[in-house]
A = this chain, B = another copy of it.
């Protein structure tokens, strides 16, 4: 039994860190600096952990390749964070100034491109199948960002659209990482499918929790102001549900769809969302997906990695930032 989800892959996660540092080395020190700035704000490395744990849990032995794939994903994830902050005008990330605020939009944009290319460079050692799974997932990120912007400030966005958006931007990349982990371990097609499903389900749960935290998160723990989704008019699950509320829905809608919102209006909307059943219902749905993810793990033989994946699934629900 393991108490924390990263315990059995500490060593591999350290190797991912090393790979990331090595990948972002550049003759232009500023590119390395911006890259390290965003990489070190990347959080808990749940993404690479999922890939590596699944590789191990499905019988993978030599971790070298899976570390490169996990690192490539993390580089792509970091690149999208850099560009997302530019697009969303997010001023803070994990308690620090957003990179484009610190280094300027131009340089943050170039650094994002640099990280994309560096992930491409790691791809040289992957089988064709792995490249196509990674590329498809990353295509989906861009596609879901376009879809998301289509629904900006749209009060009538439904849950199906929401799920499609978060699948593309969060869950499919988790799924791809999970699938690739089991593929590199030469797991059977059935196990690969189960692991892909695990990644998808945990990714959806992860993003729902993210969207709940934007409403209720403590700004200090979160490392950024909350209410960003309301400010940006992003139709997240809690907001979609709250906007259907009989008592407060119409006022929340009114604020949600305004182009410019005052801090008082944002605070009012947050207060009203909390008075609805939206947060409870969203938590329930996140838990439902996490439970599906746990079921997907049943296909695995007992191991410390399987236990760690269970712990990680619970950690996704419990996280505070």
Q: Does chain B have a CB within 8 A of A121?
A: yes
- Nearest Cβ on chain B to A134's Cβ, whole angstroms: 7
Say whether, besides A31-B142, A123-B123, A143-B27, A135 and B113 are in contact (CB < 8 Å). no
Pairs across A and B, CB under 8 Å, 30 listed: A26-B142, A27-B143, A28-B143, A30-B146, A31-B146, A83-B110, A83-B113, A86-B109, A87-B106, A107-B146, A107-B149, A110-B146, A112-B113, A113-B116, A114-B139, A114-B143, A116-B120, A117-B135, A117-B138, A117-B141, A118-B135, A120-B123, A120-B134, A120-B138, A121-B131, A121-B135, A121-B139, A123-B131, A124-B131, A125-B128
Asked if A109 and B109 make an inter-chain contact with CB atoms under 8 angstroms apart, the answer reads: yes
Would you give the 0/1 interface string for A127-148, flagging 1 where the beta carbon is closer than 8 Å to chain B? 0100110111011011101110
Q: Which of A86, A105, A119, A138 has the largest count of B CB atoms less than 10 A from its CB?
A: A138
Q: Does chain B have a CB within 8 A of A170?
A: no
Asked if A110 and B28 make an inter-chain contact with CB atoms under 8 angstroms apart, the answer reads: no
Would you give the 0/1 interface string for A57-68, flagging 1 where the beta carbon is closer than 8 Å to chain B? 000000000000
Where chain A touches its partner, the secondary structure class is helix
Q: Does chain B have a CB within 8 A of A213?
A: no
Q: Which of A28, A114, A135 has the largest count of B CB atoms less than 10 A from its CB?
A: A28
Q: Give chain B residues whose Cβ lies under 8 Å from the Cβ of A191.
A: none
Please measure, in the bound complex, the distance between the C-alpha atom of A120 and the C-alpha atom of B136, giving whole angstroms: 10
Please measure, in the bound complex, the distance between the C-alpha atom of A126 and the C-alpha atom of B26, giving whole angstroms: 24
The number of chain A residues with a CB under 8 A from chain B is 45
Q: Give chain B residues whose Cβ lies under 8 Å from the Cβ of A126.
A: 124
Inter-chain pairs besides A117-B141, A120-B135, A121-B136, 15 sampled, C-beta below 8 Å: A26-B142, A28-B146, A31-B143, A79-B113, A83-B109, A83-B113, A87-B110, A109-B109, A110-B146, A113-B141, A114-B143, A116-B116, A117-B135, A120-B120, A124-B126
- Nearest Cβ on chain B to A139's Cβ, whole angstroms: 5
In this complex, what residue of B is CB-closest to A126?
Answer: B124
Q: Does chain B have a CB within 8 A of A80?
A: yes
- Nearest Cβ on chain B to A31's Cβ, whole angstroms: 6
Q: Does chain B have a CB within 8 A of A111?
A: yes
In this complex, what residue of B is CB-closest to A117?
Answer: B138
- Nearest Cβ on chain B to A46's Cβ, whole angstroms: 22
Asked if B142 and A114 make an inter-chain contact with CB atoms under 8 angstroms apart, the answer reads: yes
